[in-house]
Structure 1
């Protein structure tokens, strides 16, 4: 507007009202065109800024609605143009960010925080998907790229480069909180998260809430200086407001009670809380109590885990001892069984020897008695010198029976001394019975016997004929 007033004064100084009235119509129309062009040129930045803000707000609402309906691919593709710098032909994202930041960088602080928070929330929802679902929704390559960008911590550098001209300290505190929370949930390690938070806490402006000093500074400085300092404080992330103080306390909470503890730096967290100038006594005591409680919980958890490991080891040791005991009992039982079988087998062999001796003795004595009887019978005959008559039928029958009894006794003694012989004999008998039990074999034997009997009869008939001749 100052530039616009300056043009009006110059026009008045150059041209008087009389000259403008007496001038030609062509000159009057040319003067009106100059005024309209100057007014449009002055109002164009404001109009473009309003149009850009309206476009960002509209896009943010569309992406939010898509996110609420769980249409994550559409929500991400809708919000990406706001957080990605417009790249020229053949330019990389880093080069584009150096030349011109993302459109969200030109928005107001509230809109900027909303857009970045929505973008980080969408990324968090994507990483919480199942791997198969994420690959189906975004494609394997894009899904892996999103996951690696968050898990490796590259998302922090992307936000600083695209939205804040690469200046770490200019990042809004709410965006820092969302970034730290995202990395705390999904990063592979918390080392990068710790370094980023330490860098931000070191380079960002400390919130100053001493109202008396601010009032004195305002009264001592002129209005122009006050406006310049106000605009400068707005450009940085650490504005002197209670909201910024609460945000910084939240960042300290994430840093000391979460990130440092994940990196197992308990002593450093306690020291940082103790010397922090942002925390008052009440908050410092609350932080220290929370840290002590978390440490006790951690120690209790470690103790429970150690007890569980000891219990598992004890159970494993008992199982091994029980397995050894059962194996020893089985081996003892098996050894005892083998010894009993060996003793039983040796006892059976001794019994066979005892039974064999009387049988052999009986057989030998009976044979001796038979020989003595035959010699006694032959001696009188030899003494008399007379030929003996043929034995009677009863004597022959008794002799046959005695011989048969001797044979049976010998067979029995053989069976006792060699049981396998009996088994073979029984197997032979059974095979004969089975063989004759087969009808085909019986028929074949009948045919063979029939043919043999026919040949025998023919031979006998021929012999009879020859004898007649």
Structure 2
């Protein structure tokens, strides 16, 4: 029985030769294609805008423009709606994550004052800690690949490892992440039966599955080169930062990804890095030894300098002690040295006269022994005695002046006062009168003595 009339036209969509289901499927596919095209166009436009802002060093605007692409929408977060980047093509996805990691690297490299001015202190510290603590790796896996470590694109893994290698506080987390990725990333799954036998709910939610699952593996030269680059970062950089030299050599030797030529190149590079590190350690040891020797020489020089200062101080104290002893002697604490020095300062004549007087017995004893009167001294002997006494007084006065400079000042003050006094005419006349009267008395006394002697 055939269908004719308007019903047949309705069922066939206006064309009796086509079934009803075929028209419905074509309209659905066209609507999905247009929606996907609009979605891809929006992602590409947003990516280009963020790239332009980053190239002009407008980091806050570039980050705020890119965040909606890598963050799941909040209203649909409860239903497991992924971030827009998870629905993009592989090339666009890699570009978006690479730009995000590049922006983070530039933010971390900002000076503290620049970062605080651009983002604020708290936000800048949070973004910097995200790169230094490795939280960005977890963010990429969770928002872009549905939490599956092995589904992350190889180029994104390279950028993540490089970022942590440059800014992480240590490379332990980087090593663990790379090991987890290398262990979980496998070749593409070609088992069609397992996919056909999977339950319908899994197939119904296939649009929320990780996009990298549909294009994973190392079956192309580009994937192979990316895997080799990851091995290079892991074995020649991360493991060496953690001082895992033997494990790096063993990993390179046992790797199935590397061919003989690449394996030999890796081993040579590892040996070269080992030699460079040993040379650097030797240089550091020599530098440390040289600094220790320099410190020892400085300590020895400081000790010798201290000894010289102590010896000089000791000599100065001894000199002061000797001067103090000499000053005490000059002030008459010890009479014998001063008398000896004054007797040494006399001329030969006074010394001989003093010796003759000391050898000569006292007048009283001579008078008692002889019983006769002793003749008085002559004028010449008296004058010699007076001159000797004056010389001894002058010598003692010179020694006292040397030991006590205040006496010199007093003497100078006395002389100046005398000069000032004699500068007055009345004083000079009065002194002349006094001296004239005194000299007249002296002459009269001498004349009387001459007359008495003559008589």
Q: Same fold (TM over 0.5)?
A: yes
Which residue is 1:82 aligned to?
69
The answer on whether the counterparts of 1:169 and 1:236 sit within 8 Å (CA) in structure 2 is: no
The reply to whether residue 55 of structure 1 matches residue 36 of structure 2 is no
2:176 counterpart (195, 212, 215): 195
The separation in 2 between residues aligned to 1:438 and 1:272, in whole angstroms, is 111
The separation in 2 between residues aligned to 1:47 and 1:403, in whole angstroms, is 146
The reply to whether residue 248 of structure 1 matches residue 236 of structure 2 is no
Change (3 A) 1:84 1:435: farther
Which structure 2 residues correspond to residues 10-21 of structure 1 after superposition, within 5 A?
16-18=4-6
1:238 counterpart (181, 205, 217): 217
2:155 counterpart (170, 174, 194): 174
Cα drift, residue 61 of structure 1: 0.8
The answer on whether the counterparts of 2:342 and 2:392 sit within 8 Å (CA) in structure 1 is: no
Cα drift, residue 371 of structure 1: 12
Aligned-partner SS, 2:170? coil
Could you state the TM-score of these two structures normalised by the residue count of structure 2? 0.69
The separation in 2 between residues aligned to 1:141 and 1:422, in whole angstroms, is 79
Which structure 2 residues correspond to residues 66-465 of structure 1 after superposition, within 5 A?
66-88=53-75, 96=77, 99-206=80-187, 234-235=213-214, 237-238=216-217, 240-332=219-311, 335=314, 352=338, 354-357=340-343, 405=387, 408-409=390-391, 411-415=393-397, 418-419=400-401, 423-432=405-414
Could you state the TM-score of these two structures normalised by the residue count of structure 1? 0.67
Aligned-partner SS, 1:264? coil
Instruction: Select the structure that is richer in helix.
Output: 1
The separation in 2 between residues aligned to 1:207 and 1:42, in whole angstroms, is 27
Superposed CA deviations along residues 86-120 of structure 1, whole A, max 9, x for unmatched, are 224xxxxxx94873221111101110000000110
Superposed CA deviations along residues 397-444 of structure 1, whole A, max 9, x for unmatched, are x98x789757744633542564467633322233456779999xx99x
Change (3 A) 1:42 1:312: same
Unmatched 5+ residue regions in structure 2? 11-21, 198-202, 204-209, 330-335, 428-455
Superposed CA deviations along residues 250-287 of structure 1, whole A, max 9, x for unmatched, are 11111111100000001111111111121122211211
Change (3 A) 1:175 1:97: farther
Cα drift, residue 232 of structure 1: 9.1
Unmatched 5+ residue regions in structure 1? 1-12, 23-34, 89-94, 209-213, 384-393, 447-469
Which structure 2 residues correspond to residues 22-41 of structure 1 after superposition, within 5 A?
none
The answer on whether the counterparts of 2:152 and 2:212 sit within 8 Å (CA) in structure 1 is: no
Aligned-partner SS, 2:110? coil
Aligned-partner SS, 1:86? coil
Cα drift, residue 65 of structure 1: 1.4
The answer on whether the counterparts of 1:415 and 1:421 sit within 8 Å (CA) in structure 2 is: no
1:44 counterpart (31, 38, 56): 31
The separation in 1 between residues aligned to 2:78 and 2:132, in whole angstroms, is 22
The answer to which of 322-331 and 135-144 deviates more is 322-331
Aligned-partner SS, 1:157? helix
